[in-house]
Amino acid sequence: MGCGESKQKINSLPKLKVKPDIPKKLDNKEIEIKVCLLGDVSVGKTSIASRYCKNTFSDLYINTIGGAYQQQSVTLNNGTKIRLHIWDTSGQDRFRSMTNLYYQDAQVAILTYDVTNEESLESLNYWLEQLNNKVEVDNMILCLAGNKIDVEASKKVISTSKGKAFAEENNMIFFETSAKTGAGIKELFQAIAVKAYELMKNK
């Protein structure tokens, strides 16, 4: 199959709104959820996933091609095990037409911005619009991560209150994070796991 052919196929995907499944319960003690990280180039999506799944961080920037997968499990206080399947997507424009393939059956979307880059928060309106067009977001757990809070205070151009306000406006779980130091990362995924469990329990 030539490149042109596959591009045409992606562009002609039907614009159906997908209803993400409530997290699946595998047995008495295990739930699986799919999480997708979205946001501009270089905001730290891969780094957040790597910090959480492998407890590693690199200063090197290697751009994501399409999407990348990692997984991690978390056990809640009541013993329930949640397996998080984490897809981080490329922020590059040239991959945008395929990003919906990653998020359309995800139960969770983490919209990520870089606290040193004003535009990266504004761009999230684009991702919210994309999600709203393709997915029934009311069935989704939406999160907002303001990443790179380890930077020196003068470089932080997006205040915590601005991030918080964006999250409240869009009904999102909000955390400021640093993939570099690990600040807020476990807490973010823990909050996601708890919310997923509550949704499943109330189904």
Helices (H), the chain: 3-11, 45-54, 96-103, 118-122, 124-134, 160-169, 185-201
Q: How far is the CB of 93 from ligand GTP (least distance, A)?
A: 11
Considering the complex, state which of residue 34 and residue 45 has its C-beta at the smaller distance from ligand GTP. 45
**How is 132-169 classified by DSSP, letter by letter?**
HHHB-GGGSEEEEEEE-TTS-GGG--S-HHHHHHHHHH
Q: Which stretch binds ligand GTP (CB under 6 A): 2-10, 23-31, 87-95, 118-126?
A: 87-95
Buried b or exposed e, range 102-126, using 16+ CB within 10 angstroms: bbbebbbbbbbbbbbbeebbebbee
Is residue 42 a contact residue for ligand GTP (CB under 6 A)? Answer: yes
Q: How far is the CB of 190 from ligand GTP (least distance, A)?
A: 18
**Count of positions on this chain that bind ligand GTP (CB under 6 A):** 23
Is residue 117 a contact residue for ligand GTP (CB under 6 A)? Answer: no
Is residue 120 a contact residue for ligand GTP (CB under 6 A)? Answer: no
Considering the complex, state which of residue 46 and residue 80 has its C-beta at the smaller distance from ligand GTP. 46
Read off the tokens for 111.
Answer: 């919209």
Which residue do the tokens 């406006």 mark? Answer: 169
Distances 44 to 126, 180, 188 between C-alpha atoms, Å: 18, 9, 14
- Residues 6, 55, 63, 73: which binds ligand GTP (CB under 6 A)? 63
Is residue 34 a contact residue for ligand GTP (CB under 6 A)? Answer: no
Is residue 55 a contact residue for ligand GTP (CB under 6 A)? Answer: no
Number of residues that make up the chain: 203
Query: Which residues in this chain contact ligand GTP in the complex, by CB under 6 A?
Result: 41-47, 58-59, 61, 63-64, 88, 90-92, 147-148, 150-151, 178-180
